[in-house]
Amino acid sequence: MAETSQGTGGLKFDRNKRTWPNEANVFIALILLIGLFELIGHYRVGQSMLFDFNTNRDGTILNMARIRIIILQVSIIGIIALGVTQVIITGGIDLSSGSVVGMTAMIAMSFALTAEVNGNPNGRAIFLSEVDGQMVPTPWLHDLPVMVPILVGLLIGILAGFINGVFIAYTGIPPFIATLGMMVSARGVANWWSEGNPVSFPTDQYTALANGNLLDTLTFGLFSESWAMQEVFDGQNPAVFFILLAILFHFIMKHTIYGKHTYAIGSNEDAARMSGINVNRQKVLVYAIAGMLAGFAAILLTSKNLTAQSGMGLIYELDAIAMAVIGGVSLSGGRGSILGTVLGAMIFGIIISGFTYLRLDAFYQEIVKGMIIVGAVVLDQWRQRRASNR
């Protein structure tokens, strides 16, 4: 055998065992997928999906209208997926995030309402009190500073995640069961909160959360006149939040003790425990953060839609899991990254948007979406087996 033996006792360096980042594969898949859609679209629809060479409508060869829609579509679920990614990396799963979105949407929105709409009492208000024999929105619970609904929303999300985490860490029940219970209960809370009625008419500040231009505010309006500010970022706050949170959690997962312990638990829980990591506390923390992100997604969703409905966030958990899995996060834990999930979210967006662009019915979307999720898991299993065989 032609081996280069380095060191004593035959510890060999094998070039083939060098690791090629998995995110690169996902990125290539994204490019290939775009290419595929463009190719089919060229013959079927006769125009490009992401490019617009003819009209130069937005001052660029990109079809900004479609790209904006794609990004907007994926960013709210993408925020949930950032938390789900961390949960899956611990070797767990979170089925509750969609319902937590519904529950948080209802409760947070109730604190974000205006007392009056066009001079009349807000008919969609939740907190009512009797004034002169009439039920009107309770004055001190309406027109609150925007921080109130935000904090309420985040706390509801954290609480839901905390309960998940405590059950998983301290009773030893499988994450699947614990979060399944939360999924049902949280949806129940969402329906009970206003007996199924929508909650609507938020304050302007709250509306601006999703519909304003966050980046313009953050840069003190210095770049208000720029093309990017006007064409790319205006009204794209969910996407801006998604990117900012992705960068934040990328750093946290790669460079902090929280991230390292999250990977360690998913990689070998016993080893983590024997190394002195407080596995239970770490799990509670991870689920609580996932809950918080779901809560934040709910805030953006209600702000975007100007209303909260108890059915909001339905099967978002599966979409979020799909984004993570497509992005190379291994369901057996320990492997994957925030970057992967962001790429997974983009693939997800391209698929959804691509089907619309090819003028295919939405049914096909769902059929294919399911196949892609299963395919991604099969691919992961296969890769894992290959890695352990060599």
The residue ranges that bind another protein (CB under 8 A) are 6-13, 17-19, 252, 255-258, 260, 263-264, 266-268, 270-272, 274-277, 282, 285, 334-335, 387-388
User: How far is residue 39's CA from residue 63's CA, in Å, rounded to a whole number?
Assistant: 16
User: How far is residue 96's CA from residue 249's CA, in Å, rounded to a whole number?
Assistant: 20
Q: Shortest Cβ distance from residue 329 to another protein (Å)?
A: 12
Q: Judged by CB, which is closer to another protein: 27, or 258? A: 258
Q: Judged by CB, which is closer to another protein: 20, or 363? A: 20
Q: Judged by CB, which is closer to another protein: 222, or 271? A: 271
Q: Shortest Cβ distance from residue 18 to another protein (Å)?
A: 7
Asked if 66 contacts 380 with a C-beta cutoff of 8 angstroms, the reply is no
The strand pairing partners of 129, in sequence order, are 136
Q: Crossing angle, helix 362-389 and helix 316-326, to 10 degrees? A: 40
Q: Judged by CB, which is closer to another protein: 38, or 269? A: 269
User: How far is residue 355's CA from residue 368's CA, in Å, rounded to a whole number?
Assistant: 10
C-alpha distance from residue 309 to each of 185, 196, 206, 290, 329 (Å): 16, 7, 16, 21, 31
Nearest alpha carbon to residue 290 among 47, 109, 36, 88: 88
Q: Judged by CB, which is closer to another protein: 8, or 118? A: 8
Q: Shortest Cβ distance from residue 19 to another protein (Å)?
A: 6
Q: Judged by CB, which is closer to another protein: 237, or 282? A: 282
DSSP letter (8 states) at residue 333: S
Q: Shortest Cβ distance from residue 269 to another protein (Å)?
A: 9
For residue 191, how many other CB atoms are within 10 A of its CB?
16
DSSP 276-302: T--HHHHHHHHHHHHHHHHHHHHHHHH
Q: Shortest Cβ distance from residue 10 to another protein (Å)?
A: 4
Q: Shortest Cβ distance from residue 40 to another protein (Å)?
A: 37
Written as six digits, the tokens of 18 are 């060098």
Rounded to 5 degrees, what are φ and ψ at 13?
Answer: -105, 120
Q: Judged by CB, which is closer to another protein: 260, or 369? A: 260
CA dihedral 210, 211, 212, 216 (to 10 degrees): 80
> CB under 8 Å to 246, separation ≥6 — which residues?
78, 82, 338, 339, 341, 342
Element (H, E) at 357: helix 338-357
Element (H, E) at 136: strand 134-137
Q: Shortest Cβ distance from residue 9 to another protein (Å)?
A: 3
Q: Shortest Cβ distance from residue 244 to another protein (Å)?
A: 16
Q: Shortest Cβ distance from residue 273 to another protein (Å)?
A: 8
Q: Judged by CB, which is closer to another protein: 304, or 383? A: 383
Q: Judged by CB, which is closer to another protein: 143, or 269? A: 269
